[in-house]
Copies of this chain bind each other. A is one copy, B any other.
């Protein structure tokens, strides 16, 4: 049985990407957002190593920054990440790709690094070109603002509909010395697997090579961001980048390294869920008794995508019938279970046992509980997976019907 990572809340004042040694970051207002809020962030790896790895959306319609950045990380070397809110640069034609190219060149020149080692991330409305001159004019001020305490400023500059900046960090005391992992993320809607978040940068001062970094990042995202499914909608821009500076001089065991990256990613993922658009409940759907992890995940995902279930939770209604109805949509070849053996608990109360009503609905307390824990036991094996989602609320509909994002 594989243990599932628990997503825990994190201190919002974490230094984030500048927690590890060897990194500087900044967040400035270039003028891309009508609101005048910060909209351009830089994260720079001062080394000595310049190791980079990244995982991207599996959407076939991707932003030009994703196309660029896939190339940029291909050799395992990343010197800097530039991120902007105020425009996703997706479906913007060949000009949009040139805009990314110019951004990387401008950042490269400002920092004295190769444009090919600059990852570019953009988030905002799809289908409209960025005001590229405005963005480029912001690069020098962003470079000048770089600081070893700039993590929170960078995390603020990448917010779109987020209500809070999302940062996390971890200090790992090893036998050979202390090393760190830090991170920041943005994303409040269009959160669905492959990946769950729009943009995330994780940094570390551990000494790791590109292969170790890549493996750790894939392990981490599979267990964290890929297990957040806020609204079933997959973004065209999702990017998670891991940068390693090696500045601690400590080369941790690959498993310990992956665990630390996973822990920081889990904290960021949990913050994404907590800030999901319009949500009033964060819902952890745990599927136990599955034959495989994939089976458990498929069942959890089916439940997380049921608008009827999510609306019921919004109404504080422990409507387990809607849970069973969604569990039942998973094909037999994907997840083995006998519908007559399904148990469902909500917040610790087993309201459905062996496919039928058990404890009274009124025993389940939902009102006033931000966290809701749903446990579905398939009684078909030993695997357990937890997926996080949110309730479906009036505010979600308002936010996504009144504004183009």
Q: Are the CB atoms of A308 and B357 closer together than 8 Å? A: no
CB of A318, distance to nearest CB on chain B (Å): 9
Query: Beyond A231-B307, A233-B326, A311-B400, is A127–B356 a contact (Cβ under 8 Å)?
Result: yes
Kindly state the separation between the CA atoms of A295 and B91 in the bound complex, as whole angstroms.
Answer: 22
> On chain A, which size bracket covers the interface?
35 or more
Query: Beyond A92-B357, A401-B314, is A232–B352 a contact (Cβ under 8 Å)?
Result: no
Kindly state the separation between the CA atoms of A330 and B312 in the bound complex, as whole angstroms.
Answer: 28
Q: Are the CB atoms of A126 and B393 closer together than 8 Å? A: no
* Most B CB within 10 A of own CB, among A92, A234, A397: A397
Q: How many copies does the complex hold?
A: 2
| A305 contact from B189, B232, B397, Cβ within 8 A | B232
CB of A52, distance to nearest CB on chain B (Å): 25
> Which of A17-25, A58-66, A111-119 is the contact stretch?
A58-66
Write out the residue numbers on chain B whose beta carbons fall within 8 Å of the beta carbon of A305: 232, 305
A294 touches B (CB below 8 Å): no
Write out the residue numbers on chain B whose beta carbons fall within 8 Å of the beta carbon of A332: 60
Query: Beyond A321-B91, A325-B190, A357-B128, is A311–B401 a contact (Cβ under 8 Å)?
Result: yes
- A321-376 at interface with B (beta carbon < 8 Å): 321-322, 324-330, 332, 337, 339, 342, 352, 354-357
Kindly state the separation between the CA atoms of A6 and B326 in the bound complex, as whole angstroms.
Answer: 29
- A201-236 at interface with B (beta carbon < 8 Å): 231-236
A234 to chain B: closest residue by CB: B329
A382 touches B (CB below 8 Å): no
A9 touches B (CB below 8 Å): no
Q: Are the CB atoms of A401 and B324 closer together than 8 Å? A: no
Kindly state the separation between the CA atoms of A62 and B338 in the bound complex, as whole angstroms.
Answer: 12
- A93-128 at interface with B (beta carbon < 8 Å): 93, 96, 125-128
Q: Are the CB atoms of B393 and A59 closer together than 8 Å? A: no
Write out the residue numbers on chain B whose beta carbons fall within 8 Å of the beta carbon of A356: 91-93, 96, 127
Write out the residue numbers on chain B whose beta carbons fall within 8 Å of the beta carbon of A396: 307, 311, 397
CB of A346, distance to nearest CB on chain B (Å): 13
Write out the residue numbers on chain B whose beta carbons fall within 8 Å of the beta carbon of A92: 356-357
- A377-398 at interface with B (beta carbon < 8 Å): 392-394, 396-398
Instruction: Pick the 3 closest A-B CB pairs, nearest first.
Output: A126-B321, A315-B401, A61-B328
Between-chain CB contacts (< 8 Å), 20 pairs: A58-B329, A61-B328, A90-B321, A91-B324, A91-B356, A92-B357, A93-B354, A126-B321, A127-B320, A233-B307, A233-B308, A236-B324, A236-B328, A307-B392, A312-B401, A315-B403, A317-B404, A319-B404, A392-B401, A393-B397
